[in-house]
Every structure is written in structure tokens, then in C-alpha cells.
Amino acid sequence: MPKSAFLESVRVEIRTKHYSIKTEKTYLYWIKQFILYNDKRHPNKMSNAEIERFLNYIAAERKVSASTQNLALCSIIFMYRHVIKQEIKNLKYDFAKQPKRLPTVLSPPEVFEVLKCMTGKYHLITALLYGGGFRLSEVLSLRIKDIDLINRSIFIFNGKGRKDRYTLLPESLIPMLKQQIESARLIHERDLNEGFGSTSLPPALHRKYKSSLHTFTWQYLFPSTTRCKHPYDGYICRHHIHDTAYSKQLRSAVIASKITKRVTAHTFRHSFATQLLRSGSDIRTVQELLGHSDIKTTELYTHVIGSKRAGTPSPIDTLKFL
């Protein structure tokens, strides 16, 4: 579908509200799909009936998951509310109810087996996921300045829900972190020598910290292999590695480890929380480390270990793989 003035107005509204580039792409995708499904009619000429028909179509014909249905609905509601300035009321379609499932977790030996099948930066990313309870996006977004080797902590900027927090820096990962920092330094120095060296920043931070673009401490801990054009501000920069690059490495490692469970990057975050509770950590501490707003979310892991039981050593420090 070619670019249109209307879709560009949606993009502007998304960026005005400082949504992530990932959210922007997702919202635009579902809005395009909605318009295409309804024969390219302008959304201001459509209403509840067209929305309901589209949502039923993606559920029944495309067989998308409940979470994807909800995402499509959120995208459409955003468009009507913020771009067309129209509230959608009395919609005969509510958010799809997602099944409540206990998360898949790996035991320490299983984590060890996966780690044995990974090398280099991908090994370190996995170790951080399990050792600090990160989300994958949080690990990949780490900058050099976020790593505090002295106080043994890692700062997570603008995590889910736009919340900042600190989490554990596992003692056993310090040598690998130092090695990765030096690797990032070499890449940055090469960029500077070639007349580049800018890191990518969100537009708001770009305006505020423009002078810091070329400083090493603002560079990503896991820089991408190539430079790119910033999607908002147009300057040439180096972003972090893409999540799909990590996912491919993880998939290969899980196959090689012969573990039959379904393992994703988020599995290590689940395993981190479960292991902390098993080892007697206070549930409030685990909640803080994970960045949960509601302790009920954290309490889910007490069901995984079959107990209400909740020194917080990182679970990765018990693994002797170094």
C-alpha cells in the first residue's frame, strides 16, 4: 500500500506521543490491514460495523492469537481516538480473553545446557537474561553507561511501562562484560575514524543529549554490525543488534541442547524469578528486580514452584560454566 497523507498523520501522532518504533510499525500495520480489508475506504467513513467485521475476520479466517486480536483492536482505537478524534462506543467486540497459563521455566542444569551451545555476545545476552531477569529488549538496549561494575548493578532505562529500575549485575559475568565493552569500544573508534560514531537516540533524548551522540558511554553494549539511517532524525548512526539475530542463535542453541521445552528469550526471565523464589528471596525484592507494578504478577511464579515461599544472589552465579 503506497504512502498516504492519512497514514503519515497516524505516524506523526504516534511519534508525538513518544511510542516506540516497534509500536509504530505494529500500529501502522494493523491500520493498513483494516483499510485494505474494507476496500481502501477512508476510516472516517467507517465505524463499528466495519471494525467488528475486520476483527472477526482476523480471528476466524487468519486465526490470530488473542493477544494479536487485542493489538489490532488497540491500533484501530488509537487511530480513531487520536487521529480522527472520534470515540468508538458500543462496539460489539471486546478485548479477547487470553488464557491464563503458567510460564515455561528452565532448571539451572537446563539453562547451563543452553549456555554451553552459545558463544560470544549471544552467550552473554542469554546469561544476562537469566542472571538479571531482563526482557530481551532491555538487554539489547543497554548502553555502556548503564553498566556499573563498581556497585555490581545494571540500570534499565525506560523499561516496560516507561519505568526505570536497577537489577543485578552477576559477579560471574564481569569478565565477559569487560570483554564486550572493549569490543564495543573498538567498533566505536573505527566509526569515529571513518567520520561517524553517532549512537541512535529517541527523538526527545536526541534533542536533549545531542552533544553526547559521539561519546563512548552512550554507545550500545551490543552494537549492530552495520550503521543505519535514524528512522526519525535521519542521521547516520549505529543501533543495537536486532532481536531476530538473537532469536535465531537461541533457536539453534536450544535444538543443539536437545531440550524439548519451548524456549524463548522471555523463558530466562521466568526462570530467573522462579529460581530466586526457590532460593528464599523475598517476593517484594523479586518484584522490584523484575519491574512489576503489581505484586500479583510476581506471585504467578509462586504457583510455578508450587509454594508461597518467596541475600539475593543472582542465580547465574551458581553455574560453573566460566
pLDDT, tens digit (0-9, with 9 covering 90-100), for 93-112: 766 666 667 788 999 999 99
22/159 same-domain check: no
196/273 same-domain check: yes
- Say yes or no to pLDDT of 261 above 80: yes
| 160 is known as an active-site residue | yes
309/227 same-domain check: yes
Q: Which residues pair with 240 in a beta bridge?
A: 223
| 190 is known as an active-site residue | no
| 206 is known as an active-site residue | no
Q: Is residue 37 one of the residues assigned to a domain?
A: yes
- What per-residue confidence (pLDDT) applies to 321? 63
pLDDT in tens, 127-144: 999 999 999 999 999 999
Q: Is residue 103 one of the residues assigned to a domain?
A: no
pTM: 0.78
| 29 is known as an active-site residue | no
263/196 same-domain check: yes
Range of the domain at 76: 5-83
Q: Is residue 102 one of the residues assigned to a domain?
A: no
| 269 is known as an active-site residue | yes
The last residue of one of the domains, among 83, 118, 149, is 83
| 135 is known as an active-site residue | yes
Q: Which residues pair with 223 in a beta bridge?
A: 240
The C-alpha angle 316, 317, 322, rounded to 5 degrees, equals 90
Q: Is residue 70 one of the residues assigned to a domain?
A: yes
Single out the catalytic residue among 11, 160, 227, 230: 160
Rounded to whole angstroms, the Cα distance separating 38 from 24 reads 21
Domain CATH for 34: 1.10.150.130
Single out the catalytic residue among 135, 238, 239, 240: 135
Tally of structural domains, the chain: 2
Domain CATH for 165: 1.10.443.10
